[in-house]
Structure 1
């Protein structure tokens, strides 16, 4: 390290004196004591030197020509860094007034000439050490004050012996008294507290002073507007050596945002974030309270389980954001009805109040505490259904929503939450089974039915795993010549205990449980394997129809299943015809054309099954890539005797021909039905008149030999012919 660098690391002293000999002597003494020294012979030169290099300490003579020491000291303190640099005045004056004047202009210490040269260095180091401590203390206090400001934390002290009160600026700002002219006193805490909290503040603080113990309390400040600030107030009594209270000290912190955050977290813990309704945790707690109250008062209560009808269609077609908006509005309507009707179930003697919750998805529950009679619950449920079913406009689009509600009663349908909830859920599904947009009270027979559905679901799973399902085939007959156009694959369940079951015995449960996707895949795969076998044996008909079931959201899965099975079976895809129910196709209005086109691109034929029972429109049929319409058997049964059924069948045939589609009549069982259909131009038919559904071996024989002549060939297809 160079000598210059060593010198720059030393504490720097500026000597200001017009006496050169004094400056030289001081320099020698201070350099020997380990200081770097700068000199100035007058005030102006001192200011310039200070600006060039701020010293750590200044020795300043008071009596100088021109700018004296008083003016120089005052000017130095105004320079950048001046207030942090200690100034020791040097004077030969003995009057105390000069010393007072020097301190008034910013001096930190003084020396009287002549000096003790041996002590000069020690004096300089003492002043520097004391100044360093003061600077560190000031910095620490500034940091503490800034921390208090950021934390909105104020401090205070009450001196009981002097009866004086002091509070920090942060506390003054917090309590709104920073501009107050008179000094604050102890009473400001009581005056600043909200009127409803003032008694508590007075009591707690008085009790702490009396019993000499610390305290903590949280209360609202008295401010304008409804949103009062909330503070946390901590205090502690300080006792003297004899154990008597001598002071009380404490802090007050603004915790408004913290309290708001805590309230929000608490709210979210017990409420649904989307709708603001109670969540299942809060609802369960309220229901437990209501049950306990009803047991004490021997009164009744009702639990309503509500599920929106076909709500998934809204999410699938219009998006989840749109669906969330609908759910929020539905929640508002339900809550509005329950609030208007809460006098029906207003508890006596402090019981639980009515409660509405969103269980999740599109499920809601309603607690009606302490009702008088079951019809009270039915009345509320009916009003809720009516409110939900009113048209709803979201983003300029009108939406119609309905719901199904199940009702269970305490104590008739259960005396605990789990039983009441289960039974209301069962009743809700019964309402859906009866057509939706209904309310349904629980009864014991529903429990048996629900248990039966669960058992059946388990048996279906076992049946799929145990190869208990079979495919039977029913011929599709060309009425003009009696030839076989194709066959329809129909699933049967060879149940180990109940024997051979048709789809009506299990398909609805399969659809509810989601097992329908596994069944669809099995039916399609089994049918394609059989098509391959017939093709290799030269027996394959022109088409093999496979009926695939499912709710409206199943179409995507059906496309995936068909694509996979065709790829694995390597059959001629044009032989395969997929039959989809009219509702399945038509209730995906926006996506149906695209999805059906994807299905058609696989090279298969598409038929609309049970046509005439759903919601089709001509515009939809024109845009869909379908090949065949199948007239539902409901219109065939009485076609020979019921004019309306005949008119419907006639219209469907005409519609199919106008769209250049094949038309097949299902459920033809009698000759007069076939003749009438033939006269109307329906060429293709299937039903018991021609053949029952047959197992593989028997249908293969029919394909080999043809349908027996039943006297229908050659019948005129002209009415009256």
Structure 2
């Protein structure tokens, strides 16, 4: 540096030689000033180069530290571009994405809201980043082998206006934490051995179910299942505990999914039967269900060589007779199970003595039903439909009766739950249609036919693959027309695929049947369903018309439904009419077609002629009086 200064000074001196002696002080001052400036510039250059060297060293250290952080951290760190494409990331993230462990990578970072990878979060994240400059939340990162949940934060980083916006993402894996939380929740609500709901969950659900009971569905039921080993000792009790998961699996197989099964005690399960399954003849259904449970528990297991014989004792309680709250209903069921254990192994007992008297009759009734169905011993009764405006019979409804050899003539509510559960409903529906065709043919020949004959079609029969062919063949064999029949269809048919359902209903319509939606207003049929299917009429649910005399709300509902049906050009029929006031109110609302005991009960076919004669005499007397 001294050599550089000397050379530079000599050069300046040589340049200033031509100057006069008078200018020498000025020249010397300039020379000194120039020398000082150059020295300052050199010092500044040296300082700048040193500063750059220090910054370069720090940057190298930062990059090394950042690389170490990316490779060693258990969390996820990533640098993303504006399209959420990964530019660099931690080793954990790279391994999850199967990316090469290089300093920079370029791969799309797909974040999902669910572990199945169905809902992509990219658009939501981009919107939040554009709006707020950050996004926080839970997201799933997936690959072919695993799926991991992360709690993530993404922030925008924009160093200057020249370079594009980048995003910094960081977060932690919370998959294990989620598993622990789920395990804790499961321990609070599930039995750890059988994985069934525990007694706390059952108690709460039973309370809710009992609170939901109303005038239409007033009852719920509890089945208490008490298990005991064939030989009562500590060894067998331990064996019983080991068999409980397999017993629980057997119960789940035999019980319908709409019932709640829970483990309630060390050696017991409970079943909750909801109100819509506890109708007026629920004892038949519960009886059958109890026998299914007993049979299911005793069916062969996967490893009978190590299993011990287990006895089951069932107690059944029904609200509100056996208890108005959850605690009393459960106590009644448990006491009934104890009584069942005293009566013998693998037994059942109802808490109510009246229901218990019917319990042993279940198997006998089922046997009788099969025999009667095979021999065609069921009979049809016919209830007339009346037009209020004309006071005339405008049609009939065929209603099934069972002339049981032991019990006498039984109406459908006493045996239909058993018929539906055993699958006899399909063969009985077909028996009814064959008998109805023969009856209609006879009425046509004798002049007793009025309007159409209505038939109830079960959902099971409607779903049969050969249903249309059976209906057509039966009509041809009897030589009657489909236009003489109305098919009353349950709302449950709307659970079928729409295209299939529409095609089937159009086929029935083309054959000539009139299609009526039964129990309208009770289920879930919508305006769209009424419009898109070829329905000709609706039949109001009896639960709507039962209280129209006493309840203004029921009157308003009935009037609204009738107006809706009339707007859709659907005929409306009201059933179960018991009083003259019910008939009058419905007539004022616009419902002219009615049936019920107010007009006539269901009668055998040979009494129809007397009804028509009575009707003619009444009309003749009315005409004479008016004349």
Q: TM-score range by the shorter chain?
A: 0.3 to 0.5
Q: Larger radius of gyration, structure 1 or 2?
A: 1
TM-score normalized with structure 1 length: 0.41
- Larger RCO, structure (CA 8 Å, separation 6 or more): 2
